[in-house]
């Protein structure tokens, strides 16, 4: 049988390029969104978050954009490095701390 893992969206970039990872969320009432990075064999690591009353937030080399009209979230990584290779998950807060995670995107950075 097929492995579910083979169906994750993938993004391959060259070192130094900018990366854009996209996510569609489902609950228009979600008030808080988070991006996590998960390396092989490790737990998810917090990258950046954004409240629903914002449309953009910047961190170190990362920017999150939120479009509530189409329920879309994106993570932009500037000057991508090999250490950025991982699976990236978006998560939405359904209220009272209950996070619902998206499918995940595999980012591969080639030196």
Binding site for another protein (CB under 8 A): 3-8, 31-32, 34, 36, 41-46, 49, 51, 89, 91, 93, 96-104
* Shortest distance in whole angstroms from residue 32 CB to another protein: 5
The residue (of 27 and 100) whose beta carbon lies closer to another protein is 100
The residue (of 3 and 14) whose beta carbon lies closer to another protein is 3
* Shortest distance in whole angstroms from residue 4 CB to another protein: 4
Q: CA 71 to CA 73: how far, in whole Å?
A: 7
* DSSP string computed for 21-84: EEEE---TT--EEEEEEE-TTS--EEEEEEETT-SEEE-SSEEEEEETTTTEEEEEESS--GGG
């Amino acid at each position: 049988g097929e492995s579910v893992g083979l169906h994750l969206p993938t993004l391959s970039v060259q070192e130094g390029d900018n990366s854009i990872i996209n996510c569609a969320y489902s609950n228009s009432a979600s008030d808080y969104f988070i991006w996590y990075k998960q390396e092989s064999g490790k737990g998810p690591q917090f990258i950046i978050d954004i409240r629903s009353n914002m449309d953009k937030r910047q961190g170190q080399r990362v920017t999150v954009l939120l479009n509530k009209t189409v329920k879309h979230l994106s993570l932009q990584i500037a000057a991508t490095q090999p250490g950025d290779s991982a699976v990236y998950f978006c998560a939405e807060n359904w209220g009272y701390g209950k996070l619902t995670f998206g499918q995940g995107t595999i980012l591969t950075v080639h030196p």
